[in-house]
Amino acid sequence: VTARRELDALARRAAATPGLIPLAGGLPADRQFPRAALAASFLRVLDARDGAALQYGWPEGQGGLRARIAARLGARVGAAVSADDVIVTNGAQQAIAIAAASLARPGDAIGVEPASYPAALELFRVRGLRLVPLGEARVSYVMSTLGNPTGRALDAPGRRAAARGRWIIDDDAYGELAFEGRTAPLWQGRRGRVVHVGTFSKTLCPGLRVGWLVVPEALRARALRLKHGDDLQANSLAQAVVDDTLAHIDFDARLAVLRRYYRSRAARLARAIRRALPAWSFAFPEGGFSLWLEADGRVDDARLLRAAVDEGVSFDPGSTFEGLRDQGPTRLRVCYSAAAPESFDDAAARLARAWRRVHGAARPFRARRAAPHLSS
């Protein structure tokens, strides 16, 4: 906890440092927010005679929006998904929280990937769940389509391990941002075992906080009670705006633009890292917002981040993603999504200087295995 607090303080210091190049945070590019379309939608839904955008609604969310989500998801998983299967949530984060509360009690174990999404790991810890490797618990939390921080699909051994449990929470937050287009999230199958989590945070904007949860029939009543008890319903205005925006823009064309945009940034940051830190390794992402780097040695995360902030660059320390306390080399998440691509060469050079400063003084590290080093 102390280490996490120190890293959090450093992250805040980094965010407030003028001239620092931010490779931390995993934010979507704000220049890609569809501001004009959202503004028009706000005006339209506020103007609507029924006033629904400003009124209370049902805990499962607004019907039209649920139908859109169901149709898109059905096309991706190749199965009929009904609007009745969908619960609109306050972002994917609340969907994960409801899923976890529906399936596990304090003291239970939850299986997670070796590198996983920190806010989910933190939520599980706060709820008293024990983090264990995939396959060792009744409930697993995975990102089958595109992982955060890896930017890659869950591999076959990970899928097999997750399938050994009874329930799988599949967080598809980045699934529609795969560079090559289509991805298929895990689906419920015969045993109705997959809880699906999605969001508009990465494809429209996170500020509206609109995500969703699709649970098997057997869990629906409990999930709805938890949702209702938590906050009655997702924000009516935000739901109405998202629904109206989707009715007025070509969302698939937008996704195609975003995929190209993020892919070219990924390639540019990958080039810069390879040039400045040739001994580090990483697998080129299949989508998402970040590169997951493995350094050629091990140093303390906080020392490296402090040195990096002194040099004028930030990153997300690997330990926050590694819920299972991996003891391997130092790992870092660097995000290409939000910083200016023209700054990537500088950012990588600053990171390399910080690494030399901290690692130069550290003991040499013997790698346990060869890391994959794919390229774009």
Ligand X SMILES: Cc1ncc(COP(=O)(O)O)c(C=O)c1O
Residues that bind ligand X (CB under 6 A): 26, 91-93, 117, 143, 148, 171, 173, 199, 201, 206, 211
User: Could you tell me if 214 and 87 are in contact, meaning their C-beta atoms sit under 8 angstroms apart?
Assistant: yes
Taking CB positions, which residue lies at the least distance from ligand X? 91
Shortest Cβ distance from residue 119 to ligand X (Å)?
6
User: Could you tell me if 348 and 277 are in contact, meaning their C-beta atoms sit under 8 angstroms apart?
Assistant: yes
Read off the tokens for 196.
């699906």
- At 100, the amino acid letter reads A
User: Could you tell me if 296 and 279 are in contact, meaning their C-beta atoms sit under 8 angstroms apart?
Assistant: yes
Read off the tokens for 70.
């169901």
Nearer to ligand X, 26 or 312 (CB): 26
User: Could you tell me if 334 and 23 are in contact, meaning their C-beta atoms sit under 8 angstroms apart?
Assistant: yes
Shortest Cβ distance from residue 262 to ligand X (Å)?
14
Read off the tokens for 255.
């996704």
Neighbours of 301 (CB within 10 A): 22
Of how many residues is the chain composed? 376
End-to-end CA distance of the chain: 37
Nearer to ligand X, 93 or 330 (CB): 93
Nearer to ligand X, 14 or 208 (CB): 208
Shortest Cβ distance from residue 173 to ligand X (Å)?
4
Nearer to ligand X, 171 or 301 (CB): 171
Nearer to ligand X, 144 or 199 (CB): 199
Q: H/E/C letters for each residue in 263-316?
A: HHHHHHHHHHHHHHCCCCECCCCCECCEEEEECCCCCCHHHHHHHHHHHCEECE
Shortest Cβ distance from residue 92 to ligand X (Å)?
3
Nearer to ligand X, 334 or 354 (CB): 334
C-alpha span between 292 and 286 (Å, rounded): 12
Shortest Cβ distance from residue 270 to ligand X (Å)?
20
Shortest Cβ distance from residue 57 to ligand X (Å)?
19
